[in-house]
């Protein structure tokens, strides 16, 4: 996967240099909407799974960083734990200081418009904790449509949406 750039960001495959900032995110209260906080070992396993997802599924999540500074900001992209379901569109900002600057929106729009279509991902699910108001607002900005589906058992407080690629 060749990195892509937007006005301010570079989106690329996860690398070893992402482990320390990703672990800091995983160990923090910021990870609460995805089942955390997690231990250092769990953070390693999660980043390894993020990297390996590309090998096992042919698509996955990308780390995004500021092009000018190289500072890692978060990750964005497709996650498919169950091959019987459509992939899930995900995004996460690793640090609170990155919020409110449009980084997650810019990264998600780039993934949906430029990467997902190349990978053949035409329809994606979005599952968000009902208390994750920032991500719920982002899903709306991306044009996600609410689904009436009950939340999955592994995420009982989720709201489900669908999004078509190229819509961001």
- pLDDT (tens digit per residue) in 81-106: 999 999 999 999 999 999 999 999 99
Q: How many domains does the chain have?
A: 1
Indicate whether 154 pLDDT > 90.
no
**CATH number of the domain that 29 lies in?**
3.40.630.30
pLDDT score recorded for residue 149? 84
Q: How far, in Å, CA of 79 to CA of 110, rounded? A: 16
Q: How far, in Å, CA of 50 to CA of 57, rounded? A: 11
pLDDT score recorded for residue 166? 61
Q: Peptide bond preceding 109: is omega within 30 degrees of 0, i.e. cis?
A: no
Nearest by Cα to 140 from 117, 161, 125: 161
pTM reported for the whole predicted model: 0.94
| Residue span of the structural domain in which 50 resides | 4-164
pLDDT score recorded for residue 1? 85
Cβ neighbour number for residue 166 with a 10 Å cutoff: 12
Contacts of 119 by beta carbon, 8 Å cutoff, 6+ apart: 58, 59, 78
User: What strand order describes the sheet that includes 4-5?
Assistant: 4-5, 9-12, 61-66, 72-79, 88-93, 123-129, 158-164, 145-146
């Amino acid at each position: 996967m060749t990195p892509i750039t937007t006005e301010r960001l570079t989106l690329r495959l996860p690398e070893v240099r992402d482990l320390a900032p990703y672990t800091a995110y995983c160990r923090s209260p910021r990870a609460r909407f995805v089942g955390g906080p997690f231990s250092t070992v769990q953070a390693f396993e999660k980043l390894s799974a993020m990297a390996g997802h590309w090998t096992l599924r042919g698509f996955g999540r990308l780390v995004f960083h500021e092009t000018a500074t190289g500072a890692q900001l978060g990750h964005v992209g497709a996650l498919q734990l169950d091959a019987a379901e459509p992939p899930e569109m995900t995004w996460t900002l690793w640090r609170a200081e990155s919020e409110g600057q449009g980084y997650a929106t810019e990264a998600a729009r780039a993934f949906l418009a430029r990467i997902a279509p190349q990978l053949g991902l035409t329809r994606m699910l979005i599952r968000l904790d009902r208390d994750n108001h920032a991500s719920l607002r982002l899903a709306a900005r991306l044009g996600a449509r609410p689904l009436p589906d009950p939340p999955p058992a592994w995420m009982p407080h989720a709201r489900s949406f669908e999004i078509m690629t190229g819509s961001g």
